[in-house]
Amino acid sequence: MSQRNTGVTVDVRDEVAGSGSDDGLDGCPVREVLERVGGKWSIQIIIATSNGPIRFTELERSIEGISRRMLTLTLRSLERDGLLIRTVYPTVPPKVEYMVTDTARELYASFLTLMDWARRHRSTIAAARKAYDCAARVELANR
Residues at the interface with a copy of itself (CB under 8 A): 1-2, 4-5, 7-13, 16-18, 29-30, 32-34, 36-38, 40, 43-44, 47-48, 50-53, 62-65, 79-82, 87, 89, 97, 99, 103, 105-125, 127-129, 132-133
Q: Does 108 bind DNA (CB under 7 A)?
A: no
Angle of helix 102-142 versus helix 29-37 axis, rounded to 10:
90
Q: Is the dihedral of CA 33, 125, 12, 2 positive or negative?
A: negative
List of residues 6+ apart from 68 with CB closer than 8 A: 60
**CB–CB of 85/103 below 8 Å?**
no
- Provide the minimum distance between the beta carbon of 12 and a copy of itself in the complex, in angstroms, as a whole number: 5
Q: Counting contacts by CB under 7 A, is residue 76 touching DNA?
A: yes
The minimum distance between CB 72 and DNA, in angstroms, equals: 4
What minimum distance in Å lies between the beta carbon of 77 and DNA? Answer: 9
Asked if the peptide bond before residue 93 counts as cis, ω within 30 degrees of 0, the response is yes
Q: With respect to a copy of itself, which residue has the nearer C-beta, 40 or 68?
A: 40
Whole-Å CA distances, 61 to 7, 25, 33? 42, 36, 27
Q: Which does 69 bind (CB under 5 to 8 A by kind): DNA, a copy of itself, none?
A: DNA
How near is the Cβ of 106 to DNA at its closest, in Å?
A: 22
Binding of DNA by 87 (CB under 7 A): no
User: Do 38 and 114 contact (CB within 8 A), yes or no?
Assistant: no
Contact present, 98 and 59 (Cβ < 8 Å) = yes
Interaction site with DNA (CB under 7 A): 39-41, 55-58, 65-70, 72, 74-76, 86, 93-97
